[in-house]
Amino acid sequence: MVPRKIALGAILLVYIILFSQLALGANSYQVFEKKLKINNKNFTVKGVIVDLNTKKLKMQTVLAKNQIGQVESLESMVKRKKGLIGINGAFFSAYDAYKEPYGNLMIDGRLIRKGNGERCSVGILPGNEVIFGYVKWDISVIFSTYSEEGTELPYIYPVHTLNPVRIPGWRGYTLFTPEVGKEVLYSDGYNIVVEKQKVIRIVYGKTSIPPQGFVLNTGSLCPPDNLLNSNVTLKIEPENQENVLWSKAYAVLEAGPYLVKEGKIIADPLKENFTHYKIKDGSFARSGIGVTKNKKLLLVTVNRATIKEWAIIMQKLGAYYAMNLDGGASSGLYVNGKYLTKPGRLLSNALVISLN
């Protein structure tokens, strides 16, 4: 039989360990609700402040049901990723049959949507570094073939469209990855099927997408026969080498407008080609992400605000950099098992944070 003092000591030790773990988690983030008054208007702001210096902190972008065009509740995405905190992410086609996310979207180091670089993106780098800015990705597929003399003859195809769920009017070379589904969506055009970095078949019309590969649709251009069985390199890098930091990102989502840069308000919807009244000058529910000068992450929602008012709010909360996320019925913030702000719809994507 275990002596009673030893048993009590062991129980006490367990409680101390559990309490210290809970305290560690609690100290790494702080939930808040504030009433702010700006230009004689009252705002209810709800948010969470996360210490980016937390050792076990992990941030990740999440795709609904792991497939483009699908939707899922914010709570479900957080729980599925064993997260603690979640906020809605990039804009998406909420009113269409296919819920297509817009702009840059990178998940686990894989770029699955390509924006045109005119709207602000947020990127997550190793070490929980968070960056904001404009980035356009240069994507190309390189096929290594050889002449009869053994000279390498690479074929390079620049990718114009990445994982569309609707056929664009002009599509150029289109890349499909497993995130768009099990097969390409075009019933016409030539498809080069790549699995484990090797061309396994070239077909015309619909074809399946390998789980460990991709399909390059070349439209009416028939690929040369010597591409079959060739080695393949998929090259993805920022188009502007000044954006070298973005090449280190493992998670990226594009939304905008950019709200605060180096502590100054720079919100300008028209500059980022936002012409719809909901963004340009309307007052709606908003979500946003920002970082403070002392490396604290801000995930915030507000009941109703214009973009200019939203930028002022984020600045008042201490944001040194900040960006607007999708809003309206998409606006949602989930923390430790409950909603601070509950979205009015299912979502296409989200940003999820875990602390273990």
Which tens digit of pLDDT belongs to each residue from 86-143? 999 999 999 998 899 999 999 999 999 999 899 999 999 999 999 999 999 999 999 9
Tell me the pairing of strands 251-254 and 58-63: unpaired
**116-120, 192-196, 346-350: least confident range:** 116-120
* pLDDT value of residue 53: 94
CA distance 208 to 178: 9
Query: pLDDT at position 135, please?
Result: 94
Mean pLDDT of the chain: 90
Residue-level pLDDT at 242: 64
Amino acid 244: pLDDT: 82
Confidence at residue 356, expressed as pLDDT on a 0 to 100 scale: 78
Q: Does residue 170 surpass a pLDDT of 70?
A: no
The pTM of the full predicted model, rounded to 2 decimals, is: 0.89
3-state secondary structure 202-226: EEECCCECCCCEEEEECCCCCCCHH
Confidence of residue 172 (pLDDT cuts 50, 70, 90): confident
Among residues 51, 22, 46, 21, the alpha carbon closest in space to that of 34 is found at 46
| Whether pLDDT at 164 is above 90 | no
Confidence of residue 26 (pLDDT cuts 50, 70, 90): low
Contact 328, 285 (CB under 8 A): yes
Q: How many residues does the chain have?
A: 356
Segments making up each domain of the chain, as ranges = 29-136+244-355, 138-237
* pLDDT number for residue 4: 43
